[in-house]
Structure 1
Amino acid sequence: MSTYDLRVWAIEEHRGKDRKTHKPKSTFRVRWVVAGKRFGDVFATRPLAESFRSKLLIAQREGVAFDESCGLPEPMARELRTKSWYQHIVEYVDMKWPHASPNHRKGIAETLTDVTPVLLTNDRGSPGEETLRAALYRYVCNVGAREAGEPPQELAAAVEWLAQNTVDLAALKDAALVRKVLDTMAIRRTDGKPAAAKTIARKRAVFSNALRYAVELGRLEVHPMSVVSWSPPKMSEGVDRAVVVNPTQAESLLAAVAEETPELAAYFGCLYYAGLRPEEALHLVDAEYERPATEGGWGWLHLSGATAQPGRDWSDDDQATEDRGLKHRAPKATRPVPVAPPLAVLLDRHIERFAPAGNGRLFVTRRGPGGRLIGHPRGTPVPRNALSTAWKKARKRALTAAQFASPLARRPYDLRHACLSTWLNAGVSAPQVAEWAGNSVKVLLDFYAKCLDGGVDAALHRIGLALGVEVAAR
């Protein structure tokens, strides 16, 4: 709380003796009252006391507010409370950790690891950038690691050096320094090329939130980014058409998966035919699959959650995976998604050959040492690297050399793009597709309304029918 209610008393001299020499010695006390609360400070000489008292009176005369908690003018109070960037990010991570998901914790650590090397006071005695980054990511920005004890031996010196060599928060009043941090976020460290717009936006949000926390604690008067005229790159308006497969290409890819890793064919099928996010497919259990009433008919998936894989270092229970609710939904909400006949065939075939694990999960680790299939899986979700390897092998088998080198379906997530594009181009209403996909209509239309190969011809044909004219294929 701040106030302008100030009274300053005259300087009091206290006569006494020096404790060591027992010679006469005086001290000088300044006393003042802020909003009815009494404050005081003792100085060794009268000039020092008079200088401090003058600062109080000058602040009062210039209309500066006083902090009721410490009794000092606001600028002096902020200076008293200021901390180094290192101290601040430790407190910021501690504040965010209990309420953040493991993936969000990991994202916070990645951002702070990227920006902190820009906020060093010097590089004398530095252990090196890579060691500093490891110390930040694995220890300083990881509450679990810090609570476990001292940093690993190979990082201990780097942690100690960081604690002594980051700028004070007050240095972030310098707009040029803040701009330098923002510019660093916009460049990929690996090759110096521009970073993805989504990555920049995510890191900028974390950095901004850390600074906002400093303002909240009174360590900064205003948010430093508010005075920097810096605009992030514009987000891409939609999914790149080059990544979207057509039905023929999708069928070839799924067939290739079935030949290489048959236990994952239905998993990738869920992404393509039902538009599931990868973490939603990993979470799928047998009870959530409503079989078609008749052969060749449509079924339903009743999704209840997602299984993310942030890694053990970011969880509270030393688990590499994290089960959570559906994105943009209440914790216990469900979402129905139609199962097309081809997907029903894939799922039925999968369940017949690969029985659900004890926990009901359909897509679990089924490979042991040497790549041999396990008869009774434990129910552990398929690791991310195993999914990536299986998909890379399928692309290499199913696509031409030119297609393999292109962005076409480079990530399994691109199958979801193809699914939602297919639904939209088939004429399904945007609100209905958004409900099945778990997106807002705005996001859907901004990012997923893309045509497949031949989609333009189909659209022209539909327009031609509406106009009563024949439209030849291009």
Structure 2
Amino acid sequence: MNTSYDVKFWEIQRKADRKTVSFVVRWTVARKTKSKSFRTKGLAENFMSDLRQAAKAGEAFDITTGLPVSMLAPEPPSGPTLLQFAQSFVVSRWRGSAARTRETDVYGLLSLIPALVAEVPDRPRDADLRAVLREHVLLPLDRRSEVPRHLLPVLNWLEKASLPLVDLHDPRVARTALDAISVTFAGKDAAANTVRRKREVLHHLLELAVEQKQLAANPLHAIKWAPPKATGTVDPRTVVNPEQASALLAAVQTIGRTRGKRLHGMFACMYYAALRPEEAAGLRRQNCHLPEEGWGLLIVEKARPQANKRWTNSGETHDFRGLKHRAKDDTREIPIPHVLVVILRAHIELYGVAEDGRLFRTSKGKPFSSSAYSGVWQQARRLAFTPEQMASPLAARPYDLRHAAVSLWLNAGVPATEVAARAGHSVEVLLKVYVKCIEGQQTHANNKIMDALSG
């Protein structure tokens, strides 16, 4: 903006033609003449008074418009809105992300974007805002379907109301964002892990904005805010002992006509080999060494995580992915006890394998959905557990079989390095996650302290 303090005023002039009368205010800024016409003398005098007061207060005048800086209309914000930048953020991360990561990114933005809007009339329902974001706006162009007619007004409103990205430099706006990720869509306090994941999404979005020079700095760095603490450790109350695990696996086989029997081997892999559900779903015959006697070996190389079709590369509910926290083509070898060898040999003999060698599938050859195997698991718990155990968190989820396996290995004295290798963890993460499940350490430590005291 080019400004000057060289301002002079002329008297108000009255101009009349055959039909109208007008009053003209004339003044100069940096010796350049400016003028403005009004229909009444009162309006002209008020305008002239405003100009004189600004000059008297020592205010600079814009040479282009002739107005004092305080009377200039605010410049429209430059740069994208949050909605526009969120779209580019999703696209930038899409190719290198797993389906569940894509879903997590969008889920976090579903909380943020509807909260960071201007007060534009006729705000749509939050459910409709989330629907248009989730199903259309926050997808790559080649995956977007045509927006339904009833959602077009919702999209138009959102495009008008979305705040400029640069507004996040205002601490009040940044705090609004943090407040939004701290509650559920129903307005209740969100779980600690959920808040932390959404905060990571916000952080990554802002870091990308800084990288692309849309923001000068990450606004979160200027806000004193701490996410709720998440334990990050396995609850020992969820861990079953070998007898309880055997009872559960036996109960699984009795569920349904064939579903429980088809899932028995998958659950057994999660307990005896500490496989994640998606790793068990991707297990193939060529990954299994199953001798008639002694220990066998599983070579885990692929996983089949489940996600909504809109997030997967294949357009199916189960993608083929590499192993979690490992390089794309890395594998993991897991020695398995003979009891699991027998279970897998029997499963293959009874149900065969899919065309690609997969062991575990429905009667129609599809991978089991998480809702299907979780339903079988809950029925098995009701058969194997007492009412008190059913009401407890003991083996509440199929994933708890994996926790039980790793806990058993650690308490059996298997070195942490070996347990970590079999479970697909780093040693640091292993000991952090399972610290509460390692038994017998307290007595050993007490004895060492007593020996030191008595010595």
User: Normalising to structure 2: TM-score of the pair?
Assistant: 0.78
CA distance in 1, matches of 2:212, 2:421: 41
The residue aligned with 1:325 is: 322
In structure 2, the residue matched to 1:281 is 280
Q: Quickly say closer, same or farther: Cα 1:350–1:149, change in 2 above 3 A.
A: closer
What displacement does 1:240 show?
Answer: 0.7
Measure, in 2, the Cα distance between the counterparts of 1:202 and 1:148. Answer: 25
Pairing 1:212-251 to 2, within 5 Å after superposition:
212-251=207-246
Indicate the SS of the match to 1:323: coil
| Residue matched to 1:19 | none
CA distance in 1: counterparts of 2:297 and 2:347, whole angstroms: 16
Q: 340-349 or 220-229: which moved more?
A: 340-349
CA separation of 1:175 and 1:360: change in aligned 2, threshold 3 A: same
Instruction: Answer whether contact 1:268 1:412 (CA < 8 A) is retained.
Output: yes
Question: Which segment is superposed worse, 440-449 or 122-131?
Answer: 122-131
Other structure's SS at 2:344 match = helix
- The residue identity in structure 2 corresponding to 1:364 is R
Aligned-partner SS, 1:337: strand
Do the aligned partners of 1:81 and 1:218 also contact (CA within 8 Å) in 2? no
Q: 1:268-417 alignment to 2 at 5 Å?
A: 268-292=267-291, 294=293, 297-366=294-363, 377-378=364-365, 380-417=366-403
| Letter of the 1:205 counterpart | E
Contact 1:102 1:314 in 2 (8 A): yes
Cα displacement (A) at 1:48: 5.2
CA positional deviation for 1:309: 1.2
| One-letter code aligned to 1:111 | G
Query: What code does the residue aligned with 1:289 have?
Result: C
Q: 1:147 to 1:386 in 2, by over 3 A?
A: closer
- Per the normalisation by structure 1, the TM-score is 0.75
The letter of the residue matching 2:157 is W
Corresponding residue for residue 172 of structure 1: 168
In structure 2, list runs of 5 or more residues that go unmatched. 4-31, 36-60, 70-74
Distance 2:271 2:77 in 1: 58
Structure 1: which amino acid aligns with 2:286? A
Are 1:126 and 2:123 an aligned pair?
yes
Cα pair 1:424 1:449 within 8 Å, conserved: no
Partner of 1:14: none
Q: How does 1:3-22 map to 2 (within 5 A)?
A: none
**Matched AA of 1:411:** R
* Match of residue 444 from structure 1: 430
Contact 2:86 2:205 in 1 (8 A): yes
Equivalent in the alignment of 1:63: none
Give me the whole-angstrom Cα distance separating, in 1, the residues matched to 2:410 and 2:321.
28
Tell me how far apart the structure 1 counterparts of residues 91 and 115 of structure 2 sit (CA, whole Å). Answer: 22
Distance in 2 (CA, whole Å) between partners of 1:182 and 1:225 is 9
1:183 to 166, 179, 183: 179
Distance 2:409 2:334 in 1: 12
Contact 2:235-2:437 at 8 Å conserved across structures: no
Query: Do the aligned residues in 2 keep the contact of 1:81 with 1:219 (CA within 8 Å)?
Result: no
Measure, in 2, the Cα distance between the counterparts of 1:50 and 1:131.
45
Alignment root-mean-square deviation, CA: 3.1
**For residue 158 of structure 2, what is the aligned residue in structure 1?**
162
- Give the deviation of 1:207 after TM superposition: 0.7
Distance 1:44 1:96 in 2: 54
Kept in 1: contact 2:137–2:144 (CA 8 A): no
Equivalent positions of 1:454-473 (< 5 A) are 455-456=439-440, 460=443
Residue 253 of structure 1 deviates from its aligned partner by 0.8
Alpha-carbon distance between aligned partners in 2 of 1:293 and 1:149, rounded to the nearest angstrom? 54
Distance change >3 Å, CA 449–CA 350, structure 1 → 2: farther
Code of the residue aligned with 1:420 in structure 2: it is V
Question: What is the Cα deviation at residue 50 of structure 1?
Answer: 4.7
Indicate the SS of the match to 1:338. Answer: strand
**Aligned sequence identity (%):** 36
Deviation digits for residues 255-296 of structure 1, max 9, x if unmatched? 1111111110110111111101110000000111111352xx
Unaligned runs of 5+ in 1: 1-7, 9-42, 56-75, 367-376, 469-474
Q: Is the 8 A contact 1:286 1:356 kept in 2?
A: yes
Q: Are positions 1:201 and 2:196 aligned together?
A: yes
Supply the AA of the counterpart residue of 2:87. Answer: V
1:194: how far off? 4.0
Superposition misfits of 4+ residues, deviation over 6 angstroms: 43-47, 461-465
